[in-house]
Amino acid sequence: MALFPFGRKAAATATGSEALSAFLNGYSIEVMPRTAEKVADFRALLPAGTRVYIAHIEGTPIEEMVATAARLRAEGYEPMPHFPARIIADKAMLTDWVARYQGEAGVKQGLILAGNPQKQLGDFHSSMQLLESGAFDGFERLHVAGHPEGNKDIDPDGSERMVMEAARWKTAFAQRTDAKMAMATQFCFEAGPVIEWVNNLKREGVDLPVHIGVAGPAKLQTLIKFAIACGVGPSLKVLQKRAMDVSKLLLPYEPDDFLQDLAEHKAANPDFGIESVHFFPLGGIKTNAEWTHRHGQQPAQAA
């Protein structure tokens, strides 16, 4: 029988706890309009000024996306809506979305990505096309997708050759634009492969800061379901191995070990390329926020 709850270490040292708290400072989190509707007041959950990504799932009306962004802005947060290329019909639609976000919600940040649908619905199929469109001129910050475990949509053979070429292109784009850029990744569960991937980016000349994707506290079965759906590879094996342990199967997953390892590596290597943590609140935004409170991240109403 395990002596300590699944996902937690026996006792973090004071230094280790401080490293984790510092690593979490300035974290971001993701919501959808339908999940945001269930939150009475984000100020009871998130630190003031938190960047909140707004996931744009195919079929979500732009009016709901913009309303969510406006609400977050009004409550003191920085909305960063997704712009998924494959669900945008044409340049006119893209321009209209940008104008609505800017005019109604003061949006000045965006996550630019290809999106999930295998079949593009209009003129765009990649984040690079969106970036080249000029629609985001004047944005203060543009994030793009990162794939520590590869992306089979881009490199079906698993070589990651095309993924790396795209990352180099985005780095070159960042060097010729005034916008701050960073790479927000899919969620992972094991620190070692993430550290190696981040270091490999640097070796390959990709110097975009990394905002590492982290699955928030959730049931183990929920995480496995999302990991399979999102194409997470090596990390999924870690979850499946833990699922074989009956003593851990029914206990909720928490990302303590994963983040503690990354935090300690960052503390020992200040130039390490991870700049921030981005949470996917797969077990619910309230549950995720309460976990961050236990690690020194206080909500705006408690400040």
CATH of the domain at 219: 3.20.20.220
Residue 144 lies in a domain: yes
In this structure, what are the phi and psi dihedrals at residue 190, rounded to the nearest 5 degrees? -135, 130
Residue 141 lies in a domain: yes
Residue 9 lies in a domain: no
Residue 8 lies in a domain: no
Closest CA to 114 of 92, 129, 98: 129
The count of other CB atoms within 10 Å of the CB of residue 98 is 20
Instruction: Give the pLDDT score at 77.
Output: 98
Q: What is the pTM of this model?
A: 0.87
CB burial string 248-275: b at 16+ within 10 A, e below: beebbbbbbbbbbbbbbbbbeeeebbbe
Instruction: Give the pLDDT score at 3.
Output: 34
Instruction: List per-residue pLDDT tens for the chain, 303 residues long.
Output: 333 333 444 444 444 689 999 999 999 999 999 999 999 999 999 999 999 999 999 999 999 999 999 999 999 999 999 999 999 999 999 999 999 999 999 999 999 999 876 678 899 999 999 999 999 999 999 999 998 876 555 544 554 677 888 899 999 999 988 889 999 999 888 899 999 999 999 999 999 999 999 999 988 777 777 666 665 566 666 666 655 554 555 567 899 999 999 999 999 999 999 999 999 999 999 999 999 999 999 999 965
Residue 189 lies in a domain: yes
151/157 Cα distance (integer angstroms): 10
Instruction: Give the pLDDT score at 244.
Output: 55
Which one-letter amino acid corresponds to residue 24?
A: L
Instruction: Give the pLDDT score at 7.
Output: 41
Instruction: Give the pLDDT score at 107.
Output: 98
Total domains in the fold of the chain = 1
The count of other CB atoms within 10 Å of the CB of residue 158 is 11
Residue 11 lies in a domain: no
Residue 249 lies in a domain: yes
What's the domain range around 250? Answer: 18-302
Instruction: Give the pLDDT score at 1.
Output: 32
Residue 6 lies in a domain: no
